[in-house]
């Protein structure tokens, strides 16, 4: 997994509308890049809602929120619409970006091993440097923790 102080690898992924989003287009702004396993699951929904509810406070700190999962654009459209999400959801169906960031890892559930997304967040500064990493995120209060960190270091 990438670490604090690393340059955030650039990427281009389609958003929920199929529009290409390039990380480097956000230079000059802070980026909350959060990776999550799946649209419309309980933990992922709670996390998205927490980020949605704090969206204006992030924007006031010159920060943009980008959610990334393996789900396709149609799933993202439905998820975004259903919960009134105010930020872009990016589709990484190939998992290439998740692999680059080190969040596509072997997981285990009920004794079965499989590859999947480890819920993780990267706070990237206005020059493209990773300033904080949250690996294996616990959902409750996470968005507030990211905001507090942004307020402290931005």
- What span, in angstroms and rounded, lies between the C-alpha atoms of 111 and 118? 17
d(CA 17, CA 98) in angstroms, rounded, equals 20
What is the DSSP annotation of 48-97?
A: HHHHHHTHHHHHHTTEEEEEEES--HHHHHHHHHHHT--SEEEE-TT-HH
DSSP H or E segment with residue 113: strand 112-117
**Annotated catalytic residue, options 32, 44, 143, 146:** 44
Q: Are 93 and 15 in contact (CB under 8 A)?
A: no
Q: How many CB atoms lie within 10 A of CB 52?
A: 17
Cα Dmax for the chain? 45
Q: Known catalytic residue: 44?
A: yes
Any idea which residues carry the catalytic annotation? 44
């Amino acid at each position: 997994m990438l670490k604090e102080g690393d340059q955030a690898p650039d990427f281009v992924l389609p958003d929920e509308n199929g529009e290409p989003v390039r990380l480097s287009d956000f230079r000059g702004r802070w980026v909350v890049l959060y990776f999550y396993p799946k649209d419309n699951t309980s933990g992922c929904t709670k996390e998205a809602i927490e980020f949605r509810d704090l969206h204006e406070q992030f924007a006031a700190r010159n920060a943009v929120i980008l959610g990334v999962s393996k789900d396709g654009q149609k799933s993202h459209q439905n998820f975004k619409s259903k919960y009134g999400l105010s930020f872009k959801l990016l589709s990484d169906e190939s998992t290439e970006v998740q692999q680059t960031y080190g969040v596509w890892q072997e997981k285990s559930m009920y004794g079965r091993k499989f590859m999947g997304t480890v819920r993780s967040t990267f706070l990237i500064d206005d020059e493209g440097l990773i300033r904080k990493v949250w690996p294996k995120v616990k959902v409750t209060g996470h968005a507030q923790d990211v905001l507090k960190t942004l307020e402290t270091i931005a």
